[in-house]
A and B are shown apart, each in its own frame.
Chain A
């Protein structure tokens, strides 16, 4: 069903009713969220379904989360968007607590909830204020949002404290993205979340942040009148470089993939804040590409965990000898992670570069470093899990269930397949 969206009506925008709408950005992300939700259920078969682990409650959580995400991507009204944005935290929290690895003493859950909620409360205030000013809370009615010259309201630039507005407005989404200095919750949440939680978190929830940023950008007519957008851009990009370095020091497989998420999302942030249409297109491309790639890598990491019982990079090595078939998927996803052709990761990186460089030429330094580091840690991930001697405590037999290969393939196919339909990424513009 979601594929129908992909092939029809993506280029234009169409509003179905007063409450829902869909345009290129929304529909692509909705397709992504459905895709990943289905793959979540398949990937969790080993741990949740087989072990009699309350599968019904689990799938209920997944369905509720999927529904909330779909509506949040589709809704027109920014207040409703905010409501569903916050609401998506609840099923995620339940998933992490109920099926997580060691959620007791709650570091992961608390960090995630507190960070997101604290940062987004000012956003609510701002939305309501603007709603009062403009009389409408719909994204689509752009004409009404920014004009008002007659009433003495010239967008936000004339107001004192527009930087504050900028910060508050974006705070929630920067936490969700996550931007470098607000990213602490992500590795903690990923390490303790079950595979399904990680997949949906990396795959779709981070994109909620990106999606929100793009919408709020237009809603508040913020078009880089403020110096803060430059600050945030640079902070995000350099943060991406720093997280690239942090990746080498990780000993937990999932933590490494989580930090690489931060790096990719900082690229997306760059694309978003660059105030160019290429940048926004790159942001969408990055969201789709990273969602599939990261989610796929978490599914593979879970396969590793189910085989060896450990997520530690020190102990789980030599997988090439234990399950060579999975090594192929590991390699493919590592290549996609570092934006190897012909994946949509590469497409989005290529589009991010000129849009960010347009802002300032010297930003080629963090961009270049980030690309280089992405390659280094992706290869580091591959060699440390696959190469190395045959572990004495590994179980080389046991075959491979078709579910894991299905999951891997379904994640991988759009990454390299969607390059053939690049207009999905390149031609949606508000």
Chain B
């Protein structure tokens, strides 16, 4: 009995208390570590060379979609051995991720200089993708890009805004043509031009691509650079306290120190990091809440206003449809369609109004929405679409920024080591590359160097100064 008591005493003395693998620097029983090491001898199987979840990393990227992978790529390619980076993704098959469910359009026709520049950079990147993302001894990355361009149909009351946008776009280097009704009739005879004054047509660099191919290309390159992709779910953050002395009073400041991750095997691991980058897409708001953003006093009282919004994409078949020459056409009612392959297949959709926002519990498709909202406006714009067959549909989430539907990028004023790259509300896929580079510049060069995104920081949410994009689809 004495021996038992002694054994319990030693176990308590030497153990860690919980079942969690502690972060770097915290005590973990050497006995346990040695036991794990020599398990390989007992089992006769070699141990993996790395832990399933590392105990410390320099940069933790939460979210392994396009934005997370782009951020990881840009940081790692700058200095592969200098920074240790981990991408945490809870679903490596990307079944609910916005990146893979996106329609994959790339347009330069925005009203904000930042958005235009980001899209222009993405076009340039895709053009030179083999230079950027090739890995030695592996297949070169292949992201086929359909150069068909975007066509925005502008009603009379939006012409002024359209002209302003066009001036800005041309100044920044985008090749956009403004077409009058007669030119539109010539180029796109299948369109019904009632209520259309002007057409804004991108002639170079706009189009669409398969975002899954881009994601795989990024992943392949990242893994060759040494990025650790870890399957797991972030359950909470751990903080460390620091006292700030200001005159005679002292405040305590909680600093994000480590992340508690539930691994693929169900065990809990804790990883210490220096910087955490929130690339969680539609679930960015959850991640922010775990860091007490929105739930605390002072600077922590402003929540991250990003929530998932469901959007439907319908696949239709219309053999007499507009055909190969058709760009991605966007109506003033925000109904859009584009062709999908060469067999007369198209995909189309329409953003619902605020009142009709569908429920985001799941990714079920509402086919009534197509029949009531999308088909009528589609058919009125393109008469040929009156007889079509609805083949299938899918739904995906926008990471919708409820404040001003624009990117939130930069570090949080309180949690200085948490960097956001969220809230893209539907243009995440086309801006991912540029955002990745911007975050890299923030971390390594301490400021935006190529595209200045300082207007889109978190501070505008606290000061309530929205930066609105006029051209939302």
Contact = CB atoms under 8 A, between A and B. Distances in A.
A101 B25 CA distance: 5
Contact of A102 (B34, B51, B274): B51
A97 B445 contact: no
A44 to B, nearest CB: 10
A103 B446 contact: no
Given A53-B26, A57-B13, A105-B49, A315 B443 contact: yes
Interface of B: 13-14, 24-30, 33-34, 36-37, 47, 49-51, 54-56, 58-59, 78-79, 81-84, 242-245, 253, 255, 257, 272-275, 410-411, 416-417, 419, 442-447
A41 B27 CA distance: 16
A251 interface: yes
A51 interface: yes
A58 B30 CA distance: 12
Contact of B79 (A102, A251, A308, A398): A251
Contacts of A106: 33, 37
Given A392-B446, A395-B255, A399-B243, A105 B29 contact: no
B26 A51 contact: yes
A389 interface: yes
A169 interface: no
Q: Which of B54, B56, B257 has the most CB of A within 10 A?
A: B56
Contacts of B272: 309
30 contacts: A48-B27, A53-B27, A54-B14, A57-B13, A57-B14, A97-B28, A97-B33, A97-B34, A98-B28, A101-B25, A101-B55, A102-B51, A103-B33, A104-B36, A104-B51, A104-B55, A251-B81, A309-B257, A309-B417, A310-B274, A310-B275, A312-B274, A314-B83, A314-B444, A391-B446, A392-B410, A392-B447, A393-B274, A395-B255, A398-B242
A102 B56 contact: yes
A104 B245 CA distance: 38
Contacts of B54: 102
Nearest to B273: A309
A93 B30 CA distance: 9
Nearest to B415: A393
Contacts of A47: 25
Nearest to B444: A314
A399 B443 contact: no
Given A392-B443, A397-B244, 18 more contacts: A47-B25, A51-B26, A54-B13, A57-B27, A103-B28, A105-B50, A106-B33, A251-B81, A251-B83, A309-B417, A312-B274, A315-B59, A389-B445, A390-B446, A392-B447, A393-B416, A395-B253, A395-B255
Nearest to B80: A251
Contacts of A93: 30
Contact of B253 (A51, A313, A397): A397
A393 B275 contact: yes
A388 B444 CA distance: 10
Contacts of A314: 78-79, 82-83, 444
A194 interface: yes
B445 A315 contact: no
A82 B76 CA distance: 47
Given A393-B417, A398-B243, A105 B55 contact: no
Interface in A304-322: 308-310, 312-315, 318
Nearest to B50: A105
Instruction: List 7 tightest A-B contacts by C-beta distance, closest first.
Output: A309-B274, A310-B274, A314-B82, A97-B30, A389-B446, A251-B82, A101-B24
Q: Which of B30, B49, B54, B445 has the most CB of A within 10 A?
A: B30
A280 interface: no
A51 B37 CA distance: 26
A389 B13 CA distance: 45
Interface in A291-340: 308-310, 312-315, 318
A82 to B, nearest CB: 25
A388 B13 CA distance: 45
Contact of B411 (A51, A54, A104, A393): A393
Contacts of B82: 251, 312-315
A309 B272 CA distance: 8
Given A309-B417, A315-B83, A399 B245 contact: yes
